[in-house]
A and B are shown apart, each in its own frame.
Chain A
Amino acid sequence: MTTDDEGRLRELAERVTAAVYEVGLPVMSPVGDAVADEGAVAVDVRDSGVHLSWHHPVSDDVRRDDEVRAAMRQALSRIVREFGFTADPHADGVEVRDPA
């Protein structure tokens, strides 16, 4: 990834973060804090784009936790699309790209 690409992705991550904040969902800091009592959206910059995922305190019910993450993944995809981004849900999160 070139410096330009990295700059573009970071700028995209900032805009995506702003959109998630505007909706009212908490966002984890880039260093990846451990989630204590509440869930939050993690915004990661990867080579392929900006990656969103929902983190919440895990319970002893694995199936339910998976369903929570899937529900939030679906919601995040729809939300970022409303803000004009392209969103592709994956098994572990949502890949967000700039249509421009």
Chain B
Amino acid sequence: MADSEDRFAHKRKILILGLENFVDEEHRVRIWELGERVEAVVQAAGIAVIRDNDFWSDAGARVSTNIFKGKPGVYISWRSSEAMVEKIEEPVLARDATHPDIARLHKVSLAMERALVRIVHASGFATHRFSNDDGTHTKVLDVEAGDRGDGRVLPLSLDLELMEFTELVALVNGLAIAELAGLDPEQLAEEPWDLLREHFHAELVRTCRTLTDQDWQHCAELSGKVVHLARTYGGESEDATDYEIFAHLLLRVGTRPEFPLTDPARLLRAFLDELPYPIEEAGRRTDRLYDDLHDPMGNLAWARRVEHLFPSSADLDEYREWQRLWNRALDDRPKWIRQMDLSRQGRLPPP
């Protein structure tokens, strides 16, 4: 906003929509000046800046100033090229949300937004990333003017989805569980704890072949910490176990019983612990077995993928017995339902 063009556009908006919808004059000037400083930083980094009223430029950094009451401030984002946007028109019309071009546009935008965040941080600004009904936004905070954001406790202004493993390790290391316990639970519940758990483990699987023994021990502790946080503050179920993660890690690096995340005996025990009653009782409940086992056996597909790694033990004998009972419960079901069940366990293609 080096010239007055944007301010003029804002003033026209104020006249049309009425003064009561906007922040006061002093606040407006602060926002405009912050916008100018942010623009200057982005331009100094060599990145093209697209202004609020610029509908013609192709890709570039969008520095938007919002003077409406509600969420006033300066926001940064990346506007993708027309070429990329055009590619997703058809999949969007076809409501194909899983189309690779949509995922690519999203990831590219996040990668560039992440770069913008890092660039403005290098110039002394802070940022705050939040989601509302309109989507996810990155707001630039004027630290010099005392703007510390709206009190979110996690450094999740950086987009979790794009964080790499070393960054996630640093993030989780820095979370003090005792301090979190003293904060407003409603505010904590708004943080993306489940995404943190999911992405931490996905990155752990991606990088697991490069980990040292010391890393494995540390990662096991951090894994426990993110699971605890997701269960305490997120939507994670109290007794959910990450079988998929366990299975992927075991299949990638093999059995390493000295570490909790690659100990097949521990995975087997966790699986058995989630079954609703002792095996002896199962034999007396044959009429209810299907209903009782339906949910816990949902994890059986993952257990099966690594069952060749389970050590010989009483637990393994019990696992085999549960399998036998479950197969019997399935055999008692009508054929078409049986096929659905088997496909759910990864043993048959869907009917």
Once A23-B59, A23-B80 are accepted as A-B contacts, the answer to whether A38 and B48 lie under 8 Å apart by CB is: yes
Which residues of A are found within 8 Å of B114, using beta-carbon distances? 71, 74-75, 78
Contact A79 B45 (CB under 8 A): no
Inter-chain CA distance A78–B114, complex, in Å, is: 11
A23 adjacent to B81 (CB under 8 Å)? yes
Asked whether any CB of chain A lies closer than 8 Å to the CB of B273, the reply is: no
B60-78 to A contact mask, C-beta < 8 Å, 1/0? 1000000000000000000
Instruction: Mark contacts of A62-80 with chain B using CB atoms, 8 A cut-off: 1 yes-contact digit, 0 otherwise.
Output: 0110011011101100110
Contact status A39-B118, CB under 8 Å: no
A8-24, CB < 8 A from B: 21-24
CA gap between A24 and B104 in the complex, in Å: 14
A64: nearest chain-B partner, CB-CB: B122
Task: Among B58, B59, B79, B115, point to the contact of A71 (Cβ < 8 A).
Answer: B115
Q: Write out the residue numbers on chain A whose beta carbons fall within 8 Å of the beta carbon of B111.
A: 74-75, 78-79, 82
Do A67 and B118 touch across chains, with their CB atoms under 8 A apart?
Answer: yes
Indicate if the CB atoms of B46 and A39 lie closer than 8 Å: yes
Q: How many residue pairs bridge A and B at CB < 8 Å? A: 79
CA distance A55 to B119 in the complex (A): 14
Q: Which residues on the B side are within 8 Å of A34 (C-beta)?
A: none
**A7 close to chain B: CB less than 8 A:** no
- The reply to whether A55 and B46 contact each other, CB–CB distance below 8 Å, is yes
Chain B residues with CB below 8 A from A78, complex form: 107-108, 111, 114, 162
Q: Is B170 an interface residue (CB 8 A)?
A: no
Residues from chain B with Cβ under 8 Å of A67 in the complex? 118-119, 121-122
Cβ of B61 to closest chain A Cβ, rounded Å: 10
A5 vs B189: C-alpha distance in the bound complex, in angstroms? 54
- CB within 8 Å of A: which residues of B? 44-48, 58-60, 79-81, 83-84, 104, 107-108, 111-112, 114-116, 118-119, 121-123, 162
Q: Which residues of A contact B (CB under 8 A)?
A: 21-26, 35, 38-40, 54-57, 59, 63-64, 67-68, 70-72, 74-75, 78-79, 82-83
List 10 contacting pairs A-B, 8 Å CB cutoff, sorted by A.
Answer: A24-B58, A24-B80, A38-B46, A38-B48, A40-B46, A57-B46, A67-B118, A67-B122, A78-B108, A83-B104
